[in-house]
Structure 1
């Protein structure tokens, strides 16, 4: 059976073969050589950082290969050309042609942007991809970025994230009051509503901030990345589930003038290379997270904890309030969220009897003794199904 990913790679292969075939043909008469392009890409991540930072590198390699060298992209990590939080502006003004980051970093530019990264208690990665590519989400994303002279593309998903690293135990909502935590986007506003102090920091600053006490807690991604950053050396408690980012979506952004300067075949290569990298990132996190979690728990003694039910309930209620206030104040945010929520509601019935139902029956079998999953599943098997189903509830988050 051909999957969407299989078809995508077939398309990419066809483009690559077609490009190679054209280059191997002898030139006809005095035909002019094809135009070449050299782009600069800036990112919000450290260069070559596992997962997040490798997506831009993989994209650049794929585009160079598929275009036969006609489009070359040089990747710059956070701080090399522009600060991590300067990516949006640099691409918008044309200082560079392309960027990679997360749309919720730009909520100060337009509140609607953050709905394209993550919505608390929202959709998972599979549902987000469906909305963007088949539910009208991408068209809305481009409408949101049009005033900034930007063309967005999905740039990779981390899947369901962890709730974060904490220096102290979280036993009730009261424990969140006064807690300074790195947590961006809508989730940061939710955290603030419950008495916390949200902070936005780029990934490269997290460990030092947590270690020195500038912050008391941080969410980042999940075991694979969190192990790499050594966050276990700065905080003892690792909480789940990732209520705030159930299907975190990253982005590639392209300066519109640079995009329109490309011929149609190179535009197609860019488009389908982003699709391939988008899926590849999710595959990588799926493959790497459990081994990293096992190392964190068994080798480094990390305390893996589930957020208490009353804390989750409070976060859910605060999320509803924050979202309603956000869309009441910004018409474009309302337009985007209504599309997001309609798609989430539409896919919920099938998600419930397919993904959620399967995970429920799969988890009825005991996890192998000593595995990382057995530690996480010390609570009832319903914990697993409830976290996987957080993105499929038909009700508003």
Structure 2
């Protein structure tokens, strides 16, 4: 697929950027979240780094409330949110690219796309559409498929039903699953045979592990589980450059901390569960169906408006680059780098 021209024909001239002047004004921000621990950690970090000058007041809601966070923050009812962008895919499917694109990038690949690729530009365009400035802000960790009984093949899911979230709901419907339940809406999980979209730590905290003890991996339906933070764009623009930089760097730091913490918490939870969890390999026909349906859902973004289409295009372009890096191999990369540094 040929990549679109996103930045126009010219290249901006280099400019000298002055060091931002540190503001002395006190700043108070309100934050909505369904991730109380992560939000409190971010609030504490911003307060500490700013010497108490910037405060973040955290309000915790349930997962079923997260879909409303986007309008509340963009409308000025709150200054910030911290949740999974999975909650906003009904507003624009491109949000799913920055949360948990089925069959898509791993967390590290997604982080690289946003850090060194077009991902940051795409996320800014998407945020502008809804009046927010968005960031990556953590990760829930690996998300297997959890089942009441071992899954022998695709027919077990199609007849038994699956709970999921975000773009996973669209993938499952395309796979022919008749009963698809949205976890974020608080739907009835007693009617499903499997859950897709919760880590082992989340399964443990929610008390679901006893009912869904069969862990099926690897799960093409959920290769990433990235959290996002968003700031009301007008509020963000009113901040000084120094305060913007401070808040952005604090969110970036928390992104790394929460990724590591999720890995630790999931390992501990799995260890404590012990024999209560039985591990299985994903049946090949389920894996194939997930990948095929994920491609269908991604292709549908090209008909969902310019921002969704450009985001999907940039996403696919970067995946192609990542595949190219893998083909080079680590040895060739490091030898080439060593040679370049000796010139």
Q: What interval of TM-score do these two structures reach, taking the shorter chain for normalisation?
A: 0.7 to 0.9
1:238 counterpart SS class: strand
Aligned match of 1:36 in 17, 23, 26? 26
Q: Are 1:340 and 2:315 counterparts?
A: yes
1: CA distance, partners of 2:213 / 2:270 = 14
Q: Which runs of 4+ in 1 moved over 4 A?
A: none
Match of 2:210 in 1: 233
2: CA distance, partners of 1:284 / 1:171 = 33
CA contact (8 A) 2:84 2:228 kept: yes
Match of 1:87 in 2: 69
Match of 2:268 in 1: 291
2:91 counterpart SS class: coil
Shift of 1:270: 0.4
1:250 counterpart SS class: strand
CA contact (8 A) 2:125 2:307 kept: no
Shift of 1:150: 0.6
TM-score (norm 2): 0.83
The alpha-carbon distance between structure 1 residues 254 and 220, as it changes in their structure 2 partners (threshold 3 A), is same
2:204 counterpart SS class: helix
2: CA distance, partners of 1:126 / 1:177 = 31
TM-score (norm 1): 0.72
CA contact (8 A) 1:186 1:323 kept: no
1:344 counterpart SS class: helix
Q: Are 1:282 and 2:265 counterparts?
A: no
The alpha-carbon distance between structure 1 residues 320 and 83, as it changes in their structure 2 partners (threshold 3 A), is closer
The alpha-carbon distance between structure 1 residues 274 and 231, as it changes in their structure 2 partners (threshold 3 A), is same
Shift of 1:321: 1.9
CA contact (8 A) 1:159 1:246 kept: no
Shift of 1:345: 1.2
Gap runs ≥5 in structure 2: 1-18, 332-343
Residues 348-359 of structure 1 mapped to structure 2, 5 A cutoff: 348-351=323-326, 353-354=329-330
Coordinate RMSD, CA, aligned: 2.5
Residues 263-282 of structure 1 mapped to structure 2, 5 A cutoff: 263-282=240-259
The alpha-carbon distance between structure 1 residues 158 and 66, as it changes in their structure 2 partners (threshold 3 A), is same
Residues 364-375 of structure 1 mapped to structure 2, 5 A cutoff: none
CA contact (8 A) 1:44 1:202 kept: no
Match of 2:40 in 1: 57
Shift of 1:335: 0.7
The alpha-carbon distance between structure 1 residues 232 and 159, as it changes in their structure 2 partners (threshold 3 A), is closer
Aligned match of 1:221 in 174, 183, 198? 198
Gap runs ≥5 in structure 1: 1-14, 23-32, 48-53, 356-397
Residues 1-397 of structure 1 mapped to structure 2, 5 A cutoff: 34-45=24-35, 47=36, 54-79=37-62, 83-162=65-144, 164-196=145-177, 197-202=179-184, 205=186, 209-210=188-189, 213-298=190-275, 301-351=276-326, 353-354=329-330
CA contact (8 A) 2:79 2:231 kept: yes
CA contact (8 A) 2:33 2:82 kept: yes
2: CA distance, partners of 1:297 / 1:120 = 28
How many residue pairs get aligned? The number is 311
Q: Which moved more, 1:224-233 or 1:331-340?
A: 224-233
1:34 counterpart SS class: coil
User: Larger RCO: Structure 1 or Structure 2 (Cα < 8 Å, ≥ 6 residues apart)?
Assistant: 2
2:115 counterpart SS class: helix
Shift of 1:79: 4.5
2: CA distance, partners of 1:341 / 1:325 = 13
CA contact (8 A) 2:165 2:197 kept: no
Shift of 1:214: 4.3
The alpha-carbon distance between structure 1 residues 84 and 328, as it changes in their structure 2 partners (threshold 3 A), is closer
1: CA distance, partners of 2:325 / 2:223 = 18
